């Protein structure tokens, strides 16, 4: 029996039961969407700055892409300080699942000093305390998840806010939740036949994943990289078309041991520019002429949010299965925990 079909073996490795969180992601997303949002006095802003790190930031990357074309400046900030354009006409959205991310707390305080409007999200912690003390609208989400498994809680309230602000048009959100549920059924452990997540993990084991996409799906590529890192404990690289055609395409020659132990994932979306599509096809030919493996993966769905989540759910399960093949508990993050403890001393 393939280890990825062995429920008991997976349970033995998956000591913190990430499987149950992946199985329930559709319910988490719907629950997050149904959270009643706090009222905001102001409804129009010249700029919006979403602040977060790691799993708490990826929702900002996605929302920025979905809102592409709006007249409002939308910026995702991964730093201790805010960009200089933030002022009293700006909305700052600090997002920290734990509520204690030091970069995000620093940005909260920076936003206060700049007299910007603030609207925050956390499961508690210092961010909730500061928001309550300062009278800042705060969305409190359910505790008990690793931040990277709480994307539903960290994304869908912001999406709902952006719809209320008129930055994103209303759409049939129920289709997205149904699609998420469908993909979970396709990729979950109990599905042994036609499971792409298991197939890709098998092909990828002991190899180096490289993820390429066009600009629209680049936040998805970032998420693939971070999930490979945290869940699978596996090195991964990413880049974006057409930038990579002007430099990185020349690198796939040396060192030979690395090059020939690499698998490329090309992420495709219907919104890709025609020239990007042509570049992807030509790049695939160049790589295959070097006897390198390329796997093409296309997003599915009508709305951009639905298409993005079709690939996010796939990667959650792919990185989970690769962790099992690597004999690593997908939830464990001892190096990150050590780093945070050492930083907390000062």
CATH label of the domain that carries residue 236: 3.40.50.10490
Q: Would you state the pLDDT for residue 71?
A: 67
CA distances from 8 to 21, 189, 243, 307, 324 (A): 17, 11, 45, 33, 12
* Domain co-membership, 93 together with 179: no
pLDDT band at 55 (very low <50, low <70, confident <90, very high): confident
Task: Kindly give, in sequence order, each residue whose CB lies less than 8 Å from that of residue 65, ignoring residues fewer than 6 positions away.
Answer: 216, 218, 219, 304, 308
192 plus 150 within the same structural domain: no
Active-site residue list: 230, 246, 340
Query: Going by C-beta distance under 8 Å and a sequence separation of 6 or more, which residues neighbour residue 196?
Result: 186, 187, 314
Residue 96 φ/ψ, nearest 5 degrees:
-145, 115
* 134: containing domain: 18-170
Write down the pLDDT at residue 245: 98
Confidence of residue 258 (pLDDT cuts 50, 70, 90): very high
Judge whether 344 lies within some domain. Answer: no
The tokens for 52 are: 């977060």
In a domain, 331, yes or no: no
Please report whether residue 340 resides in a domain: no
pLDDT for position 41: 78
Boundary of a domain, candidates 135, 170, 205: 170
| Position 249 confidence tier, pLDDT thresholds 50, 70, 90 | very high
């Amino acid at each position: 029996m393939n280890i990825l079909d062995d429920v008991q073996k997976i349970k033995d490795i998956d000591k913190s039961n990430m499987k149950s969180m992946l199985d329930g992601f559709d319910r988490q997303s719907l629950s997050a969407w149904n959270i009643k949002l706090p009222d905001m006095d102001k409804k129009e802003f010249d700029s919006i700055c979403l602040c977060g790190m790691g799993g708490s930031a990826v929702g900002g990357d996605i929302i920025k892409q979905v809102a592409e074309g709006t007249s409002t400046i939308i910026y995702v900030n991964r730093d201790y300080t805010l960009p200089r354009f933030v002022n009293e006409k700006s909305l700052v959205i600090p997002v920290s699942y734990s509520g204690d991310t030091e970069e995000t707390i620093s940005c909260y305080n920076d936003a206060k000093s700049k007299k910007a409007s603030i609207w925050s999200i956390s499961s508690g912690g210092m961010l909730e305390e500061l928001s309550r003390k300062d009278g800042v609208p705060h969305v409190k989400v359910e505790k008990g998840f690793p931040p990277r498994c709480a994307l539903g809680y960290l994304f869908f309230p912001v999406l709902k806010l952006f719809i209320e602000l008129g930055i994103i048009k209303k759409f049939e959100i129920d289709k997205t939740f149904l699609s998420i549920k469908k993909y979970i059924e396709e990729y979950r452990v109990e599905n042994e036949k036609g499971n792409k997540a298991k197939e890709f993990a098998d092909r990828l084991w002991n190899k180096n994943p490289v993820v390429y996409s066009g600009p629209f799906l680049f936040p998805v590529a970032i998420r693939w990289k971070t999930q490979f890192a945290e869940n699978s404990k596996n090195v991964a690289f990413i880049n974006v078309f057409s930038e990579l055609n002007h430099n990185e395409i020349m690198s796939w020659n040396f060192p030979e041991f690395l090059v020939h132990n690499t698998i490329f994932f090309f992420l495709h979306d219907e919104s890709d520019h025609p020239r990007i599509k042509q570049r992807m096809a030509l790049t695939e030919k160049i790589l295959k002429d070097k006897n390198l493996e390329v796997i093409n993966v296309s997003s599915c769905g009508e709305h951009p949010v639905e298409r993005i989540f079709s690939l996010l759910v796939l990667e959650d399960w792919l990185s989970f299965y690769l962790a099992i093949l690597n004999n690593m508990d997908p939830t464990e993050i001892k190096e990150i925990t050590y780093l945070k403890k050492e930083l907390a001393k000062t």
